[in-house]
Structure 1
Amino acid sequence: MALTALAGLVGCGGSKFRTYNGPEVTRLVLLKSERKLHLVNGTKALKSYKVGLGGNPIGPKRFEGDQKTPEGAYLIDRQNPNSNYHLSIGISYPNQRDVEFAESQGKKPGGDIFIHGRARKHKGRGKDWTAGCIAVKDGEMEEIYSMVRVGTPIYIYP
């Protein structure tokens, strides 16, 4: 009996790193107007999350400092287990087209766009508070971090 209780406690270590053994996430779909992120396998949404966006959420990200979340097709290109925002996964913004557009306007495209948590200290900051990233609750970010692999496509729609 005591060993059973001890085994149960070991599983409750409070780690932010979860294990996921379900269907593969084949793509992420972000609908900015609905503020919804969907983790999809084939044609089925496995999980959906309410999100916060950049502080200026209407329209695509074009330039560094514009406070907008990108729109278009990108890839998840990195994981950051030491994020200042609990956990984070990187989005491959800017792509070549984004760079060329910004440079044609004499500006920089910006970068460091992530899906990340709130890290508790950002709780209560309102719906759209990031510099262009996609924010979810910390517990949700733990799920996303465990489910999404580097190389997974993400499609971000207006």
Structure 2
Amino acid sequence: MNGLAHFFSRLSLLVFIGVLGFFLWDRYTPPAPPTTLEPIIGQIDRIVIEKSDRRMIVFQADTAVRTYEIALGFSPVGDKALQGDGMTPEGIFRIDRRNEKSAFHLSLGIDYPLPKDRARTIADGGDSGGDIFIHGQPNKRNSPDPITKDWTNGSIALSNAEIEELWAVTPIGTLVEIRP
């Protein structure tokens, strides 16, 4: 009888561990891998860039449809004042050109400088610069990672896959708000 009692105590322990494992399984299983994002259907109408958070939010009819991590100019704090200062401009702009043959993987031009920007820098005896874009990575090897470092001359950089997605849904005239 001693052997039979020992067998049932072991069996009871195994059943207990099995039942406990069954109830805890959902709690301790690793999360499922992320699913691919649903494609953006139709054109977007607004892009909001939050410089301090290194984030770009894309909108369709006041609904956020995508958020991207971004890289900015190599001196990202503050509003662009002069050509070569490495700052990304702040304000309300529009997409005014598209360049599929730029030095970067696709680029969407922003209509900076506006007349007020030119007037401010001319009054200070400087040049406000220009050629501010939302673009992908440089078309060369060893390009920087847009998420870990601010590296542009004042533009906004995405990964190549992200700029391809944005390029496909962004028409000329899209509103771009760049916040500090």
Report TM bin, short chain: 0.7 to 0.9
User: Which residue pairs with 1:29 in the alignment?
Assistant: 48
**1:80 maps to 2:99:** yes
4+ long deviations beyond 6 Å? none
Q: In structure 2, which of residues 143, 149, 153 is the aligned counterpart of residue 122 of structure 1?
A: 143
Q: In structure 2, which of residues 77, 80, 85 is the aligned counterpart of residue 61 of structure 1?
A: 80
**Cα-Cα RMSD:** 1.5
Structure with the bigger RCO (C-alpha within 8 Å, sep 6+) is 1
**1:132 maps to 2:154:** yes
CA distance in structure 2 between the partners assigned to 1:27 and 1:45 by the alignment = 9
- Residue-pair matches, total: 139
Q: In structure 2, which of residues 149, 154, 165 is the aligned counterpart of residue 143 of structure 1?
A: 165
**Deviation of the 1:21 alpha carbon:** 6.9
**Deviation of the 1:83 alpha carbon:** 1.3
**Deviation of the 1:112 alpha carbon:** 0.2
**Deviation of the 1:124 alpha carbon:** 4.1
Structure 1 gap ranges (5+): 1-19
More helix by share: 2
TM-score (norm 2): 0.74
Structure 2 gap ranges (5+): 1-38
Which has the greater radius of gyration? 2
TM-score (norm 1): 0.83
2:117 match: secondary structure: helix
User: Which residue pairs with 1:3 in the alignment?
Assistant: none
Query: Percent identity at matched positions?
Result: 40
